Structure 1
Amino acid sequence: MKIEANTPEEYIAQLPEDRKLAITKLRQIILENLPVGFEETISYGMIGYVVPHTAYSPGYHCNSKLPLPFINIASQKNFIALYHFGIYNDPALYNWFVEQYPKYSSRKLDMGKSCIRFKNLDAIPYKLIGALVRKISMPQWIENYEATIKR
């Protein structure tokens, strides 16, 4: 589902009503729990939370003109996705999330390396997502990221 938008508000405005509700709530949970320093933007055609160049001038190693990504949320064709780069590069965080998930949802976890897919919009574990967002500060994320890309 490709959405052309310049702001998170423009992104949400283009969604079907059921998706608007879920993405709006996910966005609210992320913003309420996002550690200091991260910025909300449109990143890769999704709502993104990034380390701005003012805090990490090298940017993303794949394209240094882009800020360092941290979290993205998107409405895909058959699901809502939450992309969390910290889960991708931190096995302890990944294991914590997998262990905690059944405490917040009776649904089976549908997850790739950094993508958590929610097909049932009524079963999104918002409180768990809030806890996940709080787990990594911006300095910790930069340190984890640099340790990963230097391997």
Structure 2
Amino acid sequence: MQSKANNIAEYLTEIPEERKLAFTKLRNTIVENIPKGFQECMSYGMIGYVVPHTIYPDGYHCTPKLPLPFANIASQKNFIALYHMGVYGNAKLLEWFTAEYPKHCKYKLDMGKGCIRFKKPDDIPYDLIAQLMQKVTVEDWINCYESTMKTKK
């Protein structure tokens, strides 16, 4: 379910009241811990964290006019989601995250390839998310993207 919000402030007003506190804390955790160079913006109808064209002019290979996506957060119908391309594209980072998760959260990890779903807003492992965000620099992400995800022309 993509939001039609035009900016982050508008997006934040759409979040259900029972999730606002947890969502805001998740956003603040990301903003405070994401390495320098990533930019917060609306991306794919969610709040996104991207590598701007000023750093990576090629943009996203599927749609080069878009900046290179890295992470997104969204309030979905039944959960809060963190989409993190680093855990999708880096097996060692995924292994670290899945091993650490049970140390920070009493509920089983609910995760797709790069989507981490939090069905219980009161149990988001903010400290773990902070560590996850700190682990991938813009340069790390560009190198990972170019070596594993970008389609070869």
> TM-score if structure 1 supplies the norm length?
0.97
Mark the runs of 5 or more structure 1 residues left unpaired by the alignment.
none
**Pairing 1:2-151 to 2, within 5 Å after superposition:** 2-148=2-148, 149=150
**Partner deviation per Cα, 1:123-144 (whole Å, 9 max, x = no partner):** 1001100000000000110011
One-letter amino acid of the structure 2 residue matched with residue 147 of structure 1? S
List, as ranges, runs of 4+ consecutive aligned residues in structure 1 with deviation greater than 3 Å. Answer: none
Asked whether the equivalents of residues 56 and 68 of structure 2 are also in contact (C-alpha less than 8 Å), the reply is yes
Asked whether the equivalents of residues 2 and 44 of structure 2 are also in contact (C-alpha less than 8 Å), the reply is no
- Report the CA distance between 1:150 and its aligned residue: 5.2
One-letter amino acid of the structure 1 residue matched with residue 72 of structure 2? N
- Report the CA distance between 1:6 and its aligned residue: 1.9
- Report the CA distance between 1:31 and its aligned residue: 0.4
Distance (Å, rounded) in 2 between the aligned partners of 1:65 and 1:20: 31
Partner secondary structure for residue 88 of structure 2? helix
Distance (Å, rounded) in 2 between the aligned partners of 1:138 and 1:123: 28
> TM-score if structure 2 supplies the norm length?
0.96
Asked whether the equivalents of residues 50 and 70 of structure 2 are also in contact (C-alpha less than 8 Å), the reply is yes
Distance (Å, rounded) in 2 between the aligned partners of 1:71 and 1:89: 12
- Report the CA distance between 1:10 and its aligned residue: 1.0
**Partner deviation per Cα, 1:13-50 (whole Å, 9 max, x = no partner):** 11111222121111100000010000000000000000
**Partner deviation per Cα, 1:70-104 (whole Å, 9 max, x = no partner):** 01000111111000001001000000000000110
Distance (Å, rounded) in 2 between the aligned partners of 1:18 and 1:72: 20
